[in-house]
Amino acid sequence: MERKKFLKTIGAGAAFAVTFPCLHSCSSDAEEDLEVFPVPTGVDFTVNLTDTEAAPLATNGGFILKNFVVIARNLEGELVAASQVCSHQQTEEVRFISDDGGIFRCSTHGSRFSQTGTPLNTITSNPLKVFNTELNGDILRIFE
């Protein structure tokens, strides 16, 4: 049976019920459902490395999330920080991973960034915002 004849046979209400789910979820613009966040600005806070929340930073490759910032101890043991909010479409899925000598990666679409924020693939050409770090004793300052 042709589609037009089939839709006529089942009636307008049923035709709507059959087609509506696809209108909603088969949209080519699936990105509209992403929850977006502002890239952090005015960043200036500290983390006490002896606190439990900072425990992952005792290990090279470990990271924590605070104030929408990813704070990581890179594979060389240096403390680095970058926006947890991706420069592609502003989801808050950026994390530090040990691939390729240690990089930032967003799991939403797979953007990868160097530790200085340079995009490493073609998902986005927008650099990831990175922050300064300064260690005074056990107190780590993260700032712009």
Taking a C-beta distance cutoff of 8 angstroms, is the pair 61, 102 a contact?
yes
Q: Which is nearer to ligand FES, 74 or 83 (CB)?
A: 83
- State the minimum distance, in angstroms, from the CB of residue 86 to ligand FES: 3
Rounded Cα distance between 20 and 26, Å, is: 10
Q: Are 75 and 27 in contact (CB under 8 A)?
A: no
Q: How far apart are CA 123 and CA 105, in angstroms?
A: 11
Q: Which residues contact 32 (CB under 8 A, 6 or more apart)?
A: none
Least distance to ligand FES, CB of residue 60, Å? 25
Question: Nearest approach, Cβ of 128 to ligand FES (angstroms)?
Answer: 9
Judged by beta carbon, residue 79 or residue 86, the one nearer ligand FES is: 86
Nearer to ligand FES, 31 or 144 (CB): 31
How many C-beta atoms lie closer than 10 Å to residue 101's C-beta?
A: 10
Please state whether beta strands 130-136 and 139-143 pair in parallel, antiparallel, or not at all (unpaired): antiparallel
Closest approach, Cβ 16 to ligand FES, in A, equals 34
Q: Which amino acid is at 21?
A: P
* Contact residues for ligand FES, defined by CB under 6 A: 86, 88-89, 91, 93, 106, 108-111, 123
Judged by beta carbon, residue 108 or residue 140, the one nearer ligand FES is 108
Closest approach, Cβ 87 to ligand FES, in A, equals 8
Return the residue matching tokens 């101890």. 73
Judged by beta carbon, residue 15 or residue 34, the one nearer ligand FES is 34
